[in-house]
């Protein structure tokens, strides 16, 4: 009886491993994002996975810009937005090309906003996401306490498993 049960359980687990998983992988231009992606490829990826790369751009706009916008400021803000958008899309294209070279499927989203952690958590909550894999910047305790950490926020607010790859 015992060997039969073991085979049945193994059979059920084998079936689960073939199902598609939706993995969110937040990226930026840092080496920590590359390390998280490479870790995912080497340690966790499965052939049917769908990887959703997410790049959140925090606007480089001060409160002064909002308080008294001038035409020159508006043009400056628009040029910065266009530059950030182009760089973000190039980053997404690069990660998607690397993913495709491993025979995996993916998609890319770029988002402009001041709270990247909240955006990632809401994305996970509102889509059928199975897990998050992300890098950590490795900021010091004081900096993390004052400014917070995106990876800490996602880890503590996501209702799905989060794997954080530490910096070297």
Confidence of residue 89 (pLDDT cuts 50, 70, 90): very high
Q: For position 58, what pLDDT does the model report?
A: 87
**Does the domain made of 19-165 have the CATH classification 3.40.50.620?**
yes
113 has pLDDT over 70: yes
In the block, tokens 């769908």 appear at: 50
Q: For position 18, what pLDDT does the model report?
A: 56
pLDDT in tens, 10-32: 434 444 455 789 999 999 999 99
74 has pLDDT over 90: no
User: What's the pTM?
Assistant: 0.80
Percent of the chain with pLDDT over 90: 63
Phi-psi bin for 92: left (phi > 0), alpha (psi -120 to 50), beta? alpha
Domains of the chain, by residue range, sit at: 19-165
Confidence of residue 140 (pLDDT cuts 50, 70, 90): low
96 has pLDDT over 50: yes
Rounded to an integer, the average pLDDT of 145-156 is 79
- Spatial contact of 134 and 151, defined as CB atoms under 8 Å apart: yes
Give the relative orientation of helices 150-157 and 116-126 as an angle to the nearest 10 degrees. 30
């Amino acid at each position: 009886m015992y060997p039969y049960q073991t085979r049945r359980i193994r059979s059920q687990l084998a079936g689960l491993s073939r199902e598609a998983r939706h993995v969110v992988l937040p990226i930026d231009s840092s080496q920590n994002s590359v390390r998280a992606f490479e870790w995912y490829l080497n340690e966790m990826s499965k052939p049917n996975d769908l990887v959703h790369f997410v790049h959140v751009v925090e606007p480089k706009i001060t409160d002064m810009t909002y308080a008294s916008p001038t035409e020159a400021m508006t043009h400056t803000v628009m040029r910065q937005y266009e530059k950030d958008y182009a760089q973000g899309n190039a980053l997404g294209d690069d990660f998607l090309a690397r993913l495709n070279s491993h025979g995996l499927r993916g998609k890319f989203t770029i988002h402009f906003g001041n709270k990247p952690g909240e955006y990632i958590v809401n994305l996970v909550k509102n889509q059928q996401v199975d897990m998050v894999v992300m890098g950590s910047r490795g900021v010091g305790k004081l900096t993390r306490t004052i400014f917070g950490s995106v990876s800490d926020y996602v880890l503590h607010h996501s209702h799905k498993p989060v794997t954080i790859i530490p910096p070297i």
